[in-house]
Structure 1
C-alpha cells in the first residue's frame, strides 16, 4: 500500500522547528518588531498619541487624556489589526503559489487570483451596492477560487505543469482586469467611486466589523497552510519525486491552490488590491529561516503582516495630512524589488 502524505500526524507539524533551532527565535524577534510597529502605528495620526499612552490604553490603565481610549480602540486599533491580518493572508497565499509553481517570481496578483477576487468584489459593489459587509469576502473568495480553478483546467494536459499555470494565469489576469475596468466604466458614479478607492488597496476606515469578517478565513486557512507545509516541501522537489514518495500530487495541489485562493480572496475583499506583498513576504522569509516551508510559512505570514502595517503607517505620515493608500506604498516598493529578483534569477 502506498503511503499517503495527506495523513497528518500531530507530531509532524513542528518538525522543522526541531530541526531548525533558529526558527523559534526568529519568529519571536519578528513578533516583537511587529508589536512595536503596531504600537507606533496606532499612535500616529492627525491626533498623535505617545507610545506609552498607547500601551496604557491597550492594557486598560488610566491615561493622560480621556479621549485616548476612543481614538485608539475605536478608530485606529481595528485598522492596524486589519492591516496585519491582510498581510498574513497575502504572505501565506504567495508562499503557497511560489511553492506550487516552483517559481520565486509568482504571487497572487501576477497569475490572476487577485484579479478574480477583485472582479467579484467590484461586481458586488457596482451592481449590488446595498449588500451586507460579510458578503464581500464570500464573493471575493468565490471569484478567486473560480479563477484558480479555471486557470488549473486550462493548464491541464495529462497533469498540471507549473510553467503552464503561470502562463495561463498571466493571460487570464489581463482579461479579468479588462472586465473589471468595463464594470467600472458603466457603473453608477457613487458605486464606481467606492470601487476605485477600494481597488487602490487601503485599510482606511476599517473597523471591528471588517476584522470580524476577516478572522474566520484566517482561523480556518492559516492552520491548514501550516499543516500542509510539509506537503508543499515535497511538491517543491518535483512531481516525480513527490509521487515516488507516495503523495497524491494533483489532489494535494488542488487543496493548496484552494487555500491560496481563499487567503487572497479574503485579503482582497477586506482591503482591496494590495500589490506584491505575496511576492516580497516569502522572499524576505527565506532570507530569515531558509526554504523549508514548515518554518517559512509562518515567517512569511508575519512578514506579510509587518509589510502591510508598515505601508499603512508610512502612507499616513509621508504626506500628512494626506493619506496614501497602503497598496500604493507596497506597489512602489515592490515593483523595484520584483525587477531586482528578475535580474538576479536571470543571472543564475
Structure 2
C-alpha cells in the first residue's frame, strides 16, 4: 500500500492488487462507522426502563442486572438497533445500485416497483394464508420483487435500452401494483387490513434475534457484492453505450444487478416493511459528505442508510417511549430536513466554484 494522488489531484491509497481508495472516502467511512456506534449506544439507553450500555457491559462481565433491564436490552432494544441497521444498509445499497443502472439520482427500489412487487405478494399471501410462516413470507417477497425485475427487463428490451426507459417502466408498474395493494387493503377484513396498514408504514417493534440471524448472511453477501459489482456500476454511470464500449457485458450484468437489488430490497421489506424514500435519501446524503464513485459510493450509501434507521428508531423511542410508531414516519421527519440541507449545501458549493 502506498499513498498517491488521483488524476484530479486528490490523495488516494493504492494497493498492490490495483485497488485504490480515496483518503477522503476512507475518512468519511470511518466517521460514519463512529457515528453509527455512538447512535447505537445512545439508542440502547432510550426507553421507559432505565437501562443502557453500562448495564450491558456489566451483564457481559458476569455481573447481575435486573430482569427488567435484561429484557429491555436483550429482547427489545438491541434487536431493534441491529435489525434497523441491517434493513437500512440493504435498502440504501439497493438504491445506490439502481441509481447507477438507471443513471437517475431519484431511482430506488420503490420507484422501480421492486418494493411494491414484494409488498403485493406478501399482501396476497396474508389474504390466502394469514398464519403463513416467516419463510413463506420471505419467499413471497422475493418472488414479487424478482417478478417485477424480470418484467422490467422484458418490457424495456435488450442491452441497448436506456436507464430512463427502465425507470419510467418501473414507475408505471409501481403505480399499477399500488392500486392492487389499495384494493386488497380496502376489501380485506378490518383486522387484517389494520395489520397490513401498520406493517406497510414500516416498524421495528417486532424485531427479534431469529430474524437477525436470517438477515445477517445477506449483509455479509452484500459486502462481497460491493466489491464484485462496484466496478460494473461505475461503468453504468457512464451510460450503456460507453459501458459496452469499455467491455462491460450489459446484457448479462444488468439482470444480475437487478436480482441482487431485489434480494436486498425484499429482505428489508420482509423484516421491517417498506422504508420509503430511504433508497434515494441515503446515497445523496453520503455523497454530500464525501463524493464517491464505484465501491466507495456503495459502501458509504449503505452505512448512511443504517445510520438513518437507527436515528429514526432512537427518535421514536426517545419521544414516545415503547409505542410502536411507524419507522417510515420517523425516517421522513429526520431524513427530509437533512436532504434539503444537503441539496442546499451542494448548490452553495457549486456557486462558490463558479
The verdict on a shared fold, with TM-score over 0.5 as the criterion, is: yes
2 CA distance for matches of 1:236 and 1:169?
19
SS of the residue aligned with 1:251?
helix
2 CA distance for matches of 1:182 and 1:314?
33
SS of the residue aligned with 2:81?
helix
> Residue 41 in 1 paired to residue 43 in 2?
yes
SS of the residue aligned with 1:228?
helix
Structure 1 residue runs without a partner (length 5+): 1-10
8 Å CA contact 1:141–1:262 kept in 2: the answer is yes
> Residue 273 in 1 paired to residue 277 in 2?
no
SS of the residue aligned with 2:104?
coil
Q: Which residue of 2 aligns with 1:15?
A: 19
8 Å CA contact 1:275–1:334 kept in 2: the answer is no
Structure 2 residue runs without a partner (length 5+): 1-14
Deviation at 1:241, TM superposition (A): 1.6
1 CA distance for matches of 2:303 and 2:226?
14
8 Å CA contact 1:105–1:342 kept in 2: the answer is no
Question: How many residues align structurally?
Answer: 334
2 CA distance for matches of 1:206 and 1:136?
15
Query: What aligned pairs does 1:133-212 form with structure 2 within 5 A after superposition?
Result: 133-156=134-157, 159-212=160-213
8 Å CA contact 1:42–1:76 kept in 2: the answer is yes
Structure 1 residues 162 and 340 mapped into 2: Cα distance closer, same or farther (>3 Å)?
farther
Q: Which residue of 1 aligns with 2:33?
A: 31
2 CA distance for matches of 1:145 and 1:251?
16
2 CA distance for matches of 1:13 and 1:96?
24
SS of the residue aligned with 2:20?
helix
Structure 1 residues 163 and 337 mapped into 2: Cα distance closer, same or farther (>3 Å)?
farther
8 Å CA contact 2:98–2:107 kept in 1: the answer is yes
SS of the residue aligned with 1:318?
helix
Range moving further from structure 2, 120-129 or 255-264: 120-129
Deviation at 1:160, TM superposition (A): 2.2
Residues 110-141 of structure 1, C-alpha deviations (whole Å, 9 max, x = no match): 22111111111122223211111122222112
1 CA distance for matches of 2:200 and 2:67?
36
Q: Which residue of 1 aligns with 2:7?
A: none
TM-score of the pair, normalised by structure 1: 0.87
Q: Which residue of 1 aligns with 2:255?
A: 254
Q: Which residue of 2 aligns with 1:7?
A: none
8 Å CA contact 1:202–1:274 kept in 2: the answer is no
TM-score of the pair, normalised by structure 2: 0.86
Range moving further from structure 2, 168-177 or 21-30: 21-30
Query: What aligned pairs does 1:1-348 form with structure 2 within 5 A after superposition?
Result: 15-17=19-21, 20-57=22-59, 59-62=60-63, 65-156=66-157, 159-320=160-321, 322-334=323-335
